[in-house]
């Protein structure tokens, strides 16, 4: 990722932080990654609520919500930016990066992904939490062939779970599917928003684990994330998705994520 525009530690601009932290030594902390446009963080309330919930799930003392809002307010002067907010031991680290680079292809044509050789370990005590133990994602983010924008990870039962930095959805016979995240994976805020929008729009939604073959047999497939909104999947390894993607397009419209409207992409 590009160099940080600014870093705040407990609300103060810094370049350094205390050397001793349970975040570094054990990964005992949680974080969120968010997109800010014109000083407004997308889905800020949901993001901060999930940060607090994840901290509680680890038994951590979460920072007070007004402090977290103050952090986002202090980022507002940067206008368009990628915001990472991390908390460990009730300390807050706010990292401000430039927004994702422009480019429109993924929004319409979709991206190509590989199936990662990394299998996610099943740990129900940590599943769904966006904590700082991210070595599986680190390993799965390596050695992508040219033209590949994401890697999909499966679990120890041979079922797809998520991408390295995104949640996974597919559509089959007009039903929207996404893997359950009760054994591994990270439950993203955009995943929740897409599920809520789909239900409100009368699209049948099923949350549950299924084999890779179900994903491959889908009519449409896409990834969700706070920076990317909804990215259609046009290929997984040598398998290509064809067709009009009516439900993907509809959900992109309902979500209204600026990365799916303004030509913005991430890499």
Q: Which DSSP category does 135 fall into? A: H
How far is CA 162 from each of CA 68, 221, 256, rounded to the nearest angstrom? Answer: 28, 12, 22
Work out whether 123 is an interface residue with a copy of itself (CB under 8 A). Answer: yes
> Can you read off the two tokens belonging to residue 176?
């929207």
- Name the one residue in this structure whose structure tokens are 């990472």: 84
> How far is residue 129's CA from residue 29's CA, in Å, rounded to a whole number?
10
If binding means CB under 8 A, how many residues of this protein chain bind a copy of itself?
45
* 24 or 49: CB nearest a copy of itself: 24
Q: Which of 78, 82, 80, 66 is nearest to 31 (CA)?
A: 82
Shortest spacing between CB 122 and a copy of itself, in angstroms: 6
Paired residues of 229 in beta bridges: 225
Shortest spacing between CB 60 and a copy of itself, in angstroms: 10
Work out whether 89 is an interface residue with a copy of itself (CB under 8 A). Answer: no
Stretch that binds a copy of itself, among 105-113, 121-129, 188-196, 198-206 (CB under 8 A): 121-129
Work out whether 16 is an interface residue with a copy of itself (CB under 8 A). Answer: yes
> How far is residue 172's CA from residue 219's CA, in Å, rounded to a whole number?
5
Work out whether 53 is an interface residue with a copy of itself (CB under 8 A). Answer: no
Q: Which of 127, 128, 129 is nearest to 29 (CA)?
A: 129
Stretch that binds a copy of itself, among 40-48, 114-122, 145-153, 251-259 (CB under 8 A): 114-122
> Can you read off the two tokens belonging to residue 239?
């398998």
Q: Are 5 and 81 in contact (CB under 8 A)?
A: yes
Kind and range of the H or E element at 24?
helix 22-26
Work out whether 122 is an interface residue with a copy of itself (CB under 8 A). Answer: yes
169 phi, psi to nearest 5 deg: -135, 155
Shortest spacing between CB 227 and a copy of itself, in angstroms: 15
Choice from 132, 195, 227, 236 touching a copy of itself (CB under 8 A): 132
Shortest spacing between CB 239 and a copy of itself, in angstroms: 25
Work out whether 202 is an interface residue with a copy of itself (CB under 8 A). Answer: no
Stretch that binds a copy of itself, among 10-18, 157-165, 211-219, 259-267 (CB under 8 A): 10-18
Residues found near a copy of itself in the complex (CB under 8 A): 4, 7, 9, 14-28, 31, 58-59, 84, 86, 88, 93, 95, 118-119, 121-123, 125-126, 131-139, 142, 156, 184
């Amino acid at each position: 990722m590009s160099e940080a525009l600014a870093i705040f530690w407990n609300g103060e601009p810094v370049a350094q932080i205390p050397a001793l932290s349970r975040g570094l030594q054990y990964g005992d902390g949680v974080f969120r990654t968010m997109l800010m446009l014109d000083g407004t963080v997308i889905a800020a309330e949901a993001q901060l609520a999930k940060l607090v919930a994840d901290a509680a799930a680890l038994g951590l003392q979460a920072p007070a919500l007004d402090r977290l809002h103050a952090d986002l307010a202090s980022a507002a002067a940067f206008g368009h930016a990628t915001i990472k907010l991390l908390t460990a031991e009730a300390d807050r680290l706010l990292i401000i990066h430039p927004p994702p680079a422009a480019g429109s292809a993924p929004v319409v044509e979709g991206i190509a992904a590989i199936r990662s050789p990394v299998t996610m370990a099943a740990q129900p005590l940590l599943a769904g939490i966006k904590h700082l133990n991210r070595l599986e994602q680190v390993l799965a983010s390596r050695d992508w062939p040219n033209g590949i924008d994401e890697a999909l990870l499966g679990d120890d039962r041979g079922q797809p779970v998520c991408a390295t930095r995104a949640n996974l959805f597919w559509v089959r016979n007009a039903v929207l599917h996404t893997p359950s995240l009760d054994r591994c994976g990270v439950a993203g805020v955009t995943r929740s928003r897409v599920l809520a929008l789909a239900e409100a729009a009368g699209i049948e939604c099923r949350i549950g684990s299924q084999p890779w073959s179900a994903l491959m047999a889908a009519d449409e497939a896409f990834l969700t994330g706070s920076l990317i909104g909804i990215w259609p999947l046009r290929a997984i390894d040598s398998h290509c998705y064809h067709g009009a993607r009516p439900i993907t397009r509809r959900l992109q419209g309902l979500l209204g994520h600026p990365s799916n409207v303004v030509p913005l992409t991430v890499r």
